[in-house]
Structure 1
Amino acid sequence: MSPQFAGVASALVNNNYANKGIDIKFLPTCPVGHEQANVRKYQDANPSSVTMGTVEQNIFTPTLAADPTLKTTAVASMFSKSPLCIASLKDPQSESLKIGAHEDTVELMKRIFPSHEVVASPRATKNTDLLSNNDGISAIQAYTTTEVPALRRVLKEDPVVTTLEGLNGTKLGYSQLIFTADECLKGDQRAVVQAFCEATFEGWANAIRNPEEAMQMVNEAKKMLGLDDESNDHWHPSSEFDLEMLKSCDDFVKGTYEGDRYGVINADRWNEANTWLMKGKVSKDFGFDREVWQPPKNLLPGNNLARTILDDAKNSATFFEQTYGRKPSLAVITVGDLKRYQHGERRLQIYSNTSSSWFSKTSTGAANGFDVEEINLDSSTTTDELLSQIYALRDVDGIQLMWPLPDHIDTARVYSAIDVAKDVDGIHYIGQMEIGNKDAYPPVTPAAALALMDQHGVDVSGKRVLVIGRSPIVGSPIAHMVREKGGAVTVAHSGVNEDDLKTLVGEADVVITCVGEPGLVKAEWIKGADVVNVGTTFVEELDSLVSDVEGDIGKYASRYSPVPGGIGPLSAPMLFKNVAKAAWDQMK
């Protein structure tokens, strides 16, 4: 039991499994690549049980394809992607390497690194092999969650890390898959599989919110199960290492969130990975049940769309750098402390990670091929001082001026000073559209809302659309964009009489809330409309993000975007999409 199973440990210690009527038994560990065979063997011997296992997709799919009699199916995943990487002490792009790989992945590594030598290397001593150049090994197959932080502690600096997912088209797919024997997906056993997933991801939710507590549960679970600590050279014996590893695992788990739950496998991503792994020789949905662990069908989730948009922005940024020898650049200016972002660090911990978050733009940019400079100015900054700062940013591709500005700032002068060509936050959008500039960059959050609606087929043409909120950066642009799509738009705001607002909500086909005032709208006012929750508020007492709508939205709405997991994940990807486009446009 290690931090990579912190969710399982948390669920075990907190009796999540027992509370769902699951009497859980842990089988002995087995060699990598034998997981499916072990599950099949135990299930055959115990047909009334539900046997489950965990393994990476890049092992699961080839193993099942090679031996269909294993009859196993993946239902969920603890990690959104593989943490597999190559760790070395020199740049693999500039020098030939001898890579020490796990015995079961030598052929995979050869495929990814055809110009390097790949040999089998013992798992237990691979860090030592690298550091001592044993047998000429100059790089090792590693995981960003374990070997990399262990090497960092020995080297006192980061090793050279080459992430494999996405490298030269590599698609390894999901990691820490949860799979079961095929016959367990029928009748009462199917319900047990679902209950197991529910308990496991309740455990992961706790681990994400309370990593220190979860680490204690990992250690307690080890004692309960009689497991020894890891004894190999890539396990650093310190609580600091354990906690770093657990938080890294948390980030991978957060990447599986879709709709209202962790652990969701996206069918398109599953099939893309299978196609790459098997060179197109397996059928659609091979080895995967797309119904067991999925969000309700009346949700309008945004996480997978966000990943797609950010991946596209990253690809664009990479090509831009290859073409022009520099990365697309963004300057983010903040004046004073923005109250609405005071819980940003907590929201980052719970809902996103540093490679895809609105609250970590510098690291998100770095992870996706952008240079980001965050400029934080004192609240006493004058209008002229702020203007000077903006005028000095001649060499950046995009400028984002965080809203709202202090009251003493001349907002009109400042926003007018931002070049339309660099206006990646869409300040000038409405004005530019009115003069016929269809290429103006759309405001990030409104664009996210419209993209989500398009993705899920929320058609506004000819529909009565109520936009609640009229801010210049969210409500007003959304109303304009919906009108452009043929919607009959009514704009309301927090100052509208409650009875009038109730009537407007009840008459609408689509309701888009953009205020950020919990309880402004009551769920029972909704009469079958599609609801897009743009306005959100982090409520400290609940330690949670909530929408403007109070009550059970799902009971009254036809479809609705969840909070969290709806518009929020799309904001940063939309911003970097605009930055990439701005960079290309300014080089024309």
Structure 2
Amino acid sequence: MNAKKQPVILNGLPVAESLKEPLFSSIEKLASRGIVPCLATILVGDDPSSATYVKMKGNACRRLGIDSKRITLDTSTSTAALIAVIEQLNNDPSIHGILLQHPVPPHIDERAAFEAISIDKDVDGVTMMGFAQNAFGAAPYPSCTPAAILAILDYYQLKVEGKHAVVIGRSPILGKPVSLMLLNRNATVTICHSKTENLSDIVRSGDIVVAAVGRAKFVKAGWIKPGAVILDAGYNAGNVGDVDYAECEPIAGAITPVPSGVGPVTIAALLKHTVEAAERLSMAR
């Protein structure tokens, strides 16, 4: 009797390094012209998870030789005040990328704030123009987590074309853009959400499953087709993803761990986009 084939563990750390390695020469060339790529991160409020994410991004910038400007605003900040800060960053030639940490406090119009970000500095693909460019496969800076998911699939040479991809989640910065990116790779894509009926049956039909719902251990073993590729884009309290890893790992053909899966590749994609934005903006001046 043949032994069951062990799943491929889709470790994101080597994928992240493969994205960052080519950036050193780009950063050196920019430095020779007196340019240091700079990412501005905006944190509104005191959400501890968001603060951790922003700190991680700042540390990653420093390790690569990218400047990081952190702007922390009080929870009571208005939409107008937040947009005014974004406009200042848009007009600052030393800033090449702008990242507004999601989520913002509920009284802020997050979409209006995202739309205030210059398309040239939208390194996380959060604007409607960035989304539209992504839909047509022409985004210079697609949303970073979707870009990370595609980078993992490419690094491990996992086939996308012709496969049925099931995306659980429809957020405008994760579920929707990754669905379009998979569609542009000739996958057949089903998008599931909170109103989807017979969710487990639909997920079970997926050759590729992307979990992006923000609910710990939401996806169970009984939902997974044997041999499916599972990409867990969730990160919840206790360092667990949206997939019940212990249950699903024995069934999967390939699976991302949490942590050390999609997360580090997302940060690497953000750094890559920031360096590329610095190159584009320097050429335009």
**TM-score (normalised: structure 2):** 0.89
Instruction: For residue 308 of structure 1, give the secondary structure of its aligned residue in structure 2.
Output: helix
Partners of 1:423 and 1:433 lie apart in 2 by 12
The Cα offsets for residues 415-460 of structure 1, whole Å up to 9 and x where unpaired, read as 11111000011113222245x5714311111100110011112222
Instruction: For residue 442 of structure 1, give the secondary structure of its aligned residue in structure 2.
Output: coil
Instruction: For residue 556 of structure 1, give the secondary structure of its aligned residue in structure 2.
Output: coil
Partners of 1:461 and 1:338 lie apart in 2 by 39
Counterpart in the other structure of 1:502: 200
Contact kept in structure 2, 1:420 and 1:440, CA below 8 Å: no
Contact kept in structure 2, 1:537 and 1:547, CA below 8 Å: yes
The Cα offsets for residues 480-509 of structure 1, whole Å up to 9 and x where unpaired, read as 111111111111124434xx1110121111
Counterpart in the other structure of 2:98: 399
The Cα offsets for residues 554-576 of structure 1, whole Å up to 9 and x where unpaired, read as 22111111222211111211111
User: Comparing both chains, which one has the higher relative contact order based on Cα–Cα distances under 8 Å and sequence gaps of 6 or more?
Assistant: 2
Counterpart in the other structure of 1:330: 39
Partners of 1:519 and 1:363 lie apart in 2 by 29
**Structure 2 counterparts to residues 50-449 of structure 1, below 5 A:** 298-322=8-32, 324-338=33-47, 340-341=49-50, 344=52, 359-393=55-89, 394=91, 395=93, 396-428=95-127, 429-434=130-135, 438-449=138-149
Contact kept in structure 1, 2:134 and 2:181, CA below 8 Å: no
Partners of 1:359 and 1:455 lie apart in 2 by 27
Identity of aligned residues (%): 35
Q: 1:410 to 1:341 in 2, by over 3 A?
A: closer
Letter in 2 for 1:546: V
**Number of equivalenced pairs:** 271
Q: 1:412 to 1:546 in 2, by over 3 A?
A: closer
Contact kept in structure 2, 1:494 and 1:520, CA below 8 Å: no
Contact kept in structure 2, 1:465 and 1:489, CA below 8 Å: yes
Instruction: For residue 360 of structure 1, give the secondary structure of its aligned residue in structure 2.
Output: helix
Instruction: For residue 511 of structure 1, give the secondary structure of its aligned residue in structure 2.
Output: strand
Counterpart in the other structure of 1:492: 192
1:407 shift after superposition = 1.7
Partners of 1:495 and 1:336 lie apart in 2 by 30
Counterpart in the other structure of 2:3: none
Residue 204 (structure 2) pairs with residue 518 (structure 1): no
Contact kept in structure 1, 2:54 and 2:101, CA below 8 Å: no
Partners of 1:360 and 1:547 lie apart in 2 by 18
Letter in 2 for 1:450: L
Letter in 2 for 1:586: L
The Cα offsets for residues 385-417 of structure 1, whole Å up to 9 and x where unpaired, read as 111111111221110111112222122322111
Q: Which moved more, 1:486-495 or 1:419-428?
A: 486-495
Counterpart in the other structure of 1:533: 232
Instruction: For residue 240 of structure 2, give the secondary structure of its aligned residue in structure 1.
Output: strand
Contact kept in structure 1, 2:134 and 2:180, CA below 8 Å: no
Contact kept in structure 1, 2:126 and 2:143, CA below 8 Å: yes
Letter in 1 for 2:41: V
Contact kept in structure 2, 1:313 and 1:573, CA below 8 Å: no
> RMSD of aligned C-alpha atoms?
1.9
1:519 shift after superposition = 2.8
**TM-score (normalised: structure 1):** 0.44
Contact kept in structure 2, 1:318 and 1:369, CA below 8 Å: no
Residue 276 (structure 2) pairs with residue 577 (structure 1): no
Unaligned regions of 5+ residues in structure 2, if any?
1-5
The Cα offsets for residues 265-309 of structure 1, whole Å up to 9 and x where unpaired, read as xxxxxxxxxxxxxxxxxxxxxxxxxxxxxxx66211111111221
Unaligned regions of 5+ residues in structure 1, if any?
1-295, 345-356, 540-544
Letter in 2 for 1:571: T
Indicate the structure (1 or 2) with the bigger Cα radius of gyration.
Answer: 1
Letter in 1 for 2:46: D
Partners of 1:584 and 1:407 lie apart in 2 by 35
Partners of 1:463 and 1:362 lie apart in 2 by 37
Q: 1:524 to 1:530 in 2, by over 3 A?
A: same
Instruction: For residue 162 of structure 2, give the secondary structure of its aligned residue in structure 1.
Output: coil
Contact kept in structure 1, 2:83 and 2:113, CA below 8 Å: yes
Q: 1:362 to 1:520 in 2, by over 3 A?
A: closer
Partners of 1:509 and 1:361 lie apart in 2 by 32
Instruction: For residue 261 of structure 2, give the secondary structure of its aligned residue in structure 1.
Output: coil
1:358 shift after superposition = 6.0
